[in-house]
Structure 1
Amino acid sequence: MANGVDSATASPSVPRPRRWQARLPGRPAERAPAHVVLRRVNAVAVLLVAVEALAAVVASARLGLDAGWTAVVVAALLGVRAGRRLYRRRLWLSWFQDLPRSAAATATAFALVTVIALVAPSAEATSAQWAVLAFAALSEPARLAVFAFGRWCRRKLRRCDRAIVVGAGKVGVDLVRAMQAHPEFGLLPVGFVDPEPVRDPASLPVRLLDGELADEIVRLGVGTVVLAFSHARDSPVVESAITAHRLRCTALVVPRMYELYQDGPDVERLRSYPLMRLGTAPTARPSWWLKRVFDLVLAACALVALAPVLALCALAVLLESGRPVIFRQVRVGMDDRTFVLYKLRSVRMSGEDDSQVRWSVVGDRRVGPVGRFLRRTSLDELPQLWNVLRGDMSIVGPRPERPGFVRQFSAIHELYWARHRVPTGLTGLAQVHGLRGDTSIVDRSRYDNYYIANWSLWLDVKILLLTVGELVCRRNR
């Protein structure tokens, strides 16, 4: 079990955060309806992929390439262009703005085809290189037409993403008016969210919404949340961005000192205002499925390999304190859903079960030598591999906590509730940095939210390696 010195003052009577903050545990955020998700499909990107794939096939056919070399050319071109984010979602459909990136991607694909030709010489290698150049001649006019068609659809057919602006100050109002005057940027403003608007709501170009942001996103079918400046004492920008991520919305942020902000890979431009596009939620990325596959394989293999160890530990628990060997406890997982967590029992049974309200068993006389050994070596956590197989947990993620403590910590510790955006884990970034046992809840929450914001498969691998090192060397204990 985990503990934290900051929890000493935790109490159920502490007031909950203000209503404009994202949802707290016990109130899972609703998922957007299927028709809303379908509406958010990036039609321009789909059309770009289609016309460029067709251009690559036509260029290869005109130069007489066989099926093998055609596949190489198409894969090289589309793969490189996808890697250079030419098929990204964007507000500004500008062919001129995208031309340098497109040319660089084509040059990279040409170099890649050349390397393949050197490794696997063929009579058609030169034709494959010419096919890449022919692709450029065909695809650029097609891209120009796609962008023009996309702008026309946004203006005439109103194929725009519904947007909520958080912050009803001058910047927020200017952004809404720009969206209304220039629908070719693809945003249709439907309302403001601001706990302390400085303007008369009647003077705003769109209405001031009085519900929670999560509720309004679902009710209005919103696909984009624009985070401008609010005059509220505690601005809800971070909470709003997390809420947008949990509901699979795009989050665009007006940066501080935006007048001096330069364009970059993750910077959109709405007229004169730069907007930083925040990364998508980890669970919305294709690589998240690889994480789940990795969890299943590793948990299954570990259960098989460690079965003798589990059997010996279970026998030791049985001999020391009798049955039951497995300890079950309700914990809070992703989206505030509860599940039953399994552990090897390390505390002798008594007449009263205080596991849901007692924070730590350090110094508890009910913990015998076997229990202390299991807890010190973390062997008592091994049954949670079954939780991983069931989908309750992941190998790497924020550690799960009991519902009562989740409610208490969410009331006093900033963004503690935000840890539940991803599945909980056997080990996590906080744990490998020494935040186990009687340590700070604030620091754990900060590490957990950092992990979610920067998640990657490599970060999971790094945490696993650090966990093994900590277990072997018994550091931070």
Structure 2
Amino acid sequence: MRRFSAVAVQTAPVPADDVQEVDRRRPPPRRGGPERRRARDLLSRVNAVAVLLVLVDSGTLAAVCLDRRIGWAWGGAIAVTVLTIRAAWRVYRRRLWLSWLQDLPRSAASSALAFALLTGIGLISGAPPREVVAVQWAMIAFALVIEPIRWCVFAFGRWCRRRFDRCDRTIIVGAGEVGVNLARTMLEHPQFGLRPVAFADSGPDPDRHAPGLEVIDGDLAEAIVRLRAGTVVLAFSHTRDSPLVDAAITAHRLGCSTLVVPRMYELHPDGPGIERLRSYPLMRLGTAPTSRPTWWIKRAADLLLAAIALVVLSPVIGLCALAVLVESGRPLFFRQVRVGMNGRTFVLYKIRSVRQSGEDDSQVKWSVVGDSRVGPVGRFLRRTSLDELPQLWNVLRGDMCVVGPRPERPGFVREFSAIHELYWARHRVPTGLTGLAQVHGLRGDTSIADRSRYDNYYIANWSLWLDLRILLMTAGELCCRRNR
């Protein structure tokens, strides 16, 4: 199987003097106007069963609160507590197997936890015993009433998938025996919500592959867009694993749900993140960080932090610029083209720490420790990272985030992508002022392969808590310089 082309910085050479878009190869535009395409994409990503589960939970909570004559304050507290806990326990998750019995332990445990938490809140807050008892009875009524309704929702979801073909269009990567059996299972059992539309492989046996399915041997990204696929299933291919990794990252970047057949799947137990397609266990990979609701919280926090930091640190930036002026004259600030999310380039701003020479070779020359062009002021600025402060303006503009993979120059991106596997994949999210690699000492003239692994780990495990950890580690490193 061919390496699936994921981004052009990996597969297409770009002239060295080109500082425009690095990723030239964009998927072809879909048919229809922009508004129609946007609405269609939004609708295709809505999970109807999850929405129904939220609605029935909300309606049931409202009904039991009215029945028990619970006031607005306690009613709001019950609704927020129950819905938040059940969402955290992934009761409203996207799923293939719509089984009420399989989901019953998770639902019952989340309701019990909400019951205990609301009881504790009532006792600690000093609420009258009568109100606490009313809340407890409301929660008991909710737990008893909601489960039959959930059974009906699951049954209705299975019926809609079979009757109205409410299934995700699916590309199966790997057309061996496992991939072919998966396609047949999807076609025979549409209640699991997957409809195969194509294989991606170098050439399955034409006598075995499911009838009517296209065989893709090339650009997976183009096929996902052209076939409007919402799910990619990674089965065993005819070759080594790296094309599967490329395919997973491509699907991740395009916002597809990604399911993976694990090795030794016959012995693989059920657990968190495991779906079932009849007898096949499928591991569900996390969605792209930029497609999650919490990413908007990250962006809002970035704007707030950058704005406050620019105001508070403006005197420090001014003093640093004055020191540069005294040491080596103008210009005080340094502009450089860097590669950001999806290979797009932007202009990065820094306080100049390198003395000006006759020719600007910063786009192609690596600055290392002991560089004769760096004076005492420049060394101090680099050692303290004060030269990075103007990048707060890049955060405000949306070019960067506070936390993310560090941006690199186009020439080095092309070079590193050709040498280091999956270096290109770190451009799936916006770049950042600091990152997981940097807080582990990987800055300056250090291993590019290690940086790439850290950056891809960060993307695969992104959360608001991980960002906060990196910020705390960055503050610790700046104060103690443990990894310098």
Q: Normalising by the residue count of structure 2, what TM-score does the alignment of the two structures yield?
A: 0.91
CA distance in 2, matches of 1:52, 1:378: 50
SS of the equivalent of 2:401 reads: strand
SS of the equivalent of 2:216 reads: coil
CA distance in 2, matches of 1:78, 1:445: 38
Amino acid at match of 1:309: V
Amino acid at match of 2:378: G
The Cα of 1:307 is off from its aligned counterpart by 1.5
Conservation of the 8 A alpha-carbon contact between 2:5 and 2:221: no
SS of the equivalent of 2:413 reads: helix
Q: Do structure 1's residue 109 and structure 2's residue 117 form an aligned pair?
A: no
SS of the equivalent of 1:236 reads: helix
Q: Residues 264 and 19 of structure 1: is their aligned pair in 2 closer, same or farther, counting only changes over 3 Å?
A: closer
Conservation of the 8 A alpha-carbon contact between 1:73 and 1:131: no
Q: Do structure 1's residue 397 and structure 2's residue 404 form an aligned pair?
A: yes
Conservation of the 8 A alpha-carbon contact between 2:341 and 2:428: yes
CA distance in 1, matches of 2:118, 2:481: 50
Q: Residues 476 and 63 of structure 1: is their aligned pair in 2 closer, same or farther, counting only changes over 3 Å?
A: closer
Q: Residues 261 and 361 of structure 1: is their aligned pair in 2 closer, same or farther, counting only changes over 3 Å?
A: closer
SS of the equivalent of 1:124 reads: helix
1:112-127 matches, within 5 Å, as 112-120=117-125, 121-122=127-128, 123-127=130-134
CA distance in 1, matches of 2:87, 2:145: 18
SS of the equivalent of 1:99 reads: helix
1:208-357 matches, within 5 Å, as 208-357=215-364
1:177 aligns with 184
CA distance in 2, matches of 1:201, 1:395: 53
CA distance in 2, matches of 1:234, 1:72: 49
Q: Do structure 1's residue 20 and structure 2's residue 26 form an aligned pair?
A: no
1:197 aligns with 203
SS of the equivalent of 1:328 reads: strand
The Cα of 1:131 is off from its aligned counterpart by 1.2
CA distance in 2, matches of 1:115, 1:427: 41
CA distance in 2, matches of 1:383, 1:244: 35
The Cα of 1:204 is off from its aligned counterpart by 4.1
Q: Residues 471 and 70 of structure 1: is their aligned pair in 2 closer, same or farther, counting only changes over 3 Å?
A: closer
1:442 aligns with 449
Conservation of the 8 A alpha-carbon contact between 1:29 and 1:335: no
Q: Do structure 1's residue 466 and structure 2's residue 450 form an aligned pair?
A: no
SS of the equivalent of 1:259 reads: helix
SS of the equivalent of 2:214 reads: coil
Higher RCO, Cα 8 Å, sep 6+: 1
CA distance in 1, matches of 2:473, 2:249: 28
**Bigger shift: residues 215-224 or 361-370:** 361-370
SS of the equivalent of 1:255 reads: coil
SS of the equivalent of 1:52 reads: helix
For 2:56, which of 39, 47, 51 is the aligned residue? 51
Amino acid at match of 1:239: D
1:87 aligns with 92
Q: Residues 75 and 203 of structure 1: is their aligned pair in 2 closer, same or farther, counting only changes over 3 Å?
A: closer
Conservation of the 8 A alpha-carbon contact between 1:346 and 1:368: yes
CA distance in 1, matches of 2:407, 2:417: 13
CA distance in 2, matches of 1:159, 1:175: 18
CA distance in 1, matches of 2:208, 2:411: 43
Cα deviation 1:58-97 (Å, max 9, x = unaligned): 1121222222222233223222211211110000011111
Cα deviation 1:267-294 (Å, max 9, x = unaligned): 0000000001111111122221121122
CA distance in 2, matches of 1:459, 1:325: 34
Amino acid at match of 2:68: L
The Cα of 1:362 is off from its aligned counterpart by 4.0
Conservation of the 8 A alpha-carbon contact between 2:2 and 2:217: no
Conservation of the 8 A alpha-carbon contact between 1:346 and 1:367: yes
Cα deviation 1:298-333 (Å, max 9, x = unaligned): 222222222121111111111222111111000000
Q: Residues 189 and 461 of structure 1: is their aligned pair in 2 closer, same or farther, counting only changes over 3 Å?
A: same
**Structure 2 gap segments, 5+ residues each:** 10-21, 31-36
**Structure 1 gap segments, 5+ residues each:** 1-16
CA distance in 1, matches of 2:2, 2:307: 43
1:6 aligns with none
The Cα of 1:222 is off from its aligned counterpart by 0.8
Q: Do structure 1's residue 430 and structure 2's residue 414 form an aligned pair?
A: no
Amino acid at match of 2:206: D
CA distance in 1, matches of 2:207, 2:216: 10
Q: Residues 271 and 470 of structure 1: is their aligned pair in 2 closer, same or farther, counting only changes over 3 Å?
A: same
Conservation of the 8 A alpha-carbon contact between 2:96 and 2:276: yes
CA distance in 2, matches of 1:474, 1:140: 55
SS of the equivalent of 1:208 reads: strand
Conservation of the 8 A alpha-carbon contact between 2:2 and 2:243: no
Amino acid at match of 1:379: L
Conservation of the 8 A alpha-carbon contact between 1:77 and 1:109: yes
The Cα of 1:201 is off from its aligned counterpart by 7.4
Amino acid at match of 2:175: A
**Bigger shift: residues 204-213 or 132-141:** 204-213
SS of the equivalent of 2:7 reads: coil
Q: Residues 472 and 18 of structure 1: is their aligned pair in 2 closer, same or farther, counting only changes over 3 Å?
A: farther
Cα deviation 1:156-177 (Å, max 9, x = unaligned): 1001110101111111101000
Conservation of the 8 A alpha-carbon contact between 2:96 and 2:275: yes
SS of the equivalent of 1:399 reads: coil
CA distance in 2, matches of 1:359, 1:350: 15
CA distance in 1, matches of 2:387, 2:71: 59
CA distance in 1, matches of 2:317, 2:273: 48
Amino acid at match of 2:66: A
The Cα of 1:412 is off from its aligned counterpart by 1.4
Q: Do structure 1's residue 451 and structure 2's residue 458 form an aligned pair?
A: yes
Q: Residues 68 and 476 of structure 1: is their aligned pair in 2 closer, same or farther, counting only changes over 3 Å?
A: closer
Amino acid at match of 1:389: L
Q: Normalising by the residue count of structure 1, what TM-score does the alignment of the two structures yield?
A: 0.92
Conservation of the 8 A alpha-carbon contact between 1:161 and 1:188: yes
CA distance in 1, matches of 2:267, 2:292: 31
Conservation of the 8 A alpha-carbon contact between 1:201 and 1:208: no
2:14 aligns with none
Amino acid at match of 1:416: Y
Q: Residues 201 and 359 of structure 1: is their aligned pair in 2 closer, same or farther, counting only changes over 3 Å?
A: farther
In the comparison of the two structures, how many residue pairs are matched?
A: 460
